[in-house]
Amino acid sequence: MTAAEETAAEAAAAANAAAAAIPPEILAQAEAVFNQKVPLLLQQQLQQQQQQQLADLSMVGLDVHHSFASETDGDIVLARVVQWLDERAA
């Protein structure tokens, strides 16, 4: 994992922890303000970007891409994981 990916994962974990400490009514109010001030198209773009980032960081949670699951040889699996990580780091 690159330093940027580690930083993003740490920031996401910190944001989740902070959000858990905020009362639900304040979160609902903040969401309403966000929805009023941020155009729908931009909200959709942000959501797509977040989904892509989560997909790219799926290895953080030790999720293994489905194509690796069919391999029985550990060396092949490891080589493909390294290749997958290198492609995303580029």
What are the Cα distances from residue 41, in Å, to 17, 27, 33?
Answer: 28, 22, 16
Q: How many domains is the chain partitioned into structurally?
A: 1
pLDDT of residue 67: 57
Pick 9 or 30 by higher pLDDT. Answer: 30
**How many alpha carbons fall within 13 Å on the CB side of residue 43?**
10
Q: Write out the residue range of the structural domain in which residue 15 sits.
A: 3-89
pLDDT of residue 58: 65
Q: Is the pTM of this model over 0.85?
A: no
pLDDT digits (tens, 9 = 90+) for 23-76: 889 889 989 998 999 999 999 999 888 888 777 766 655 555 555 555 566 677
Nearest CA-CA partner of 15 in 3, 27, 25, 1: 27
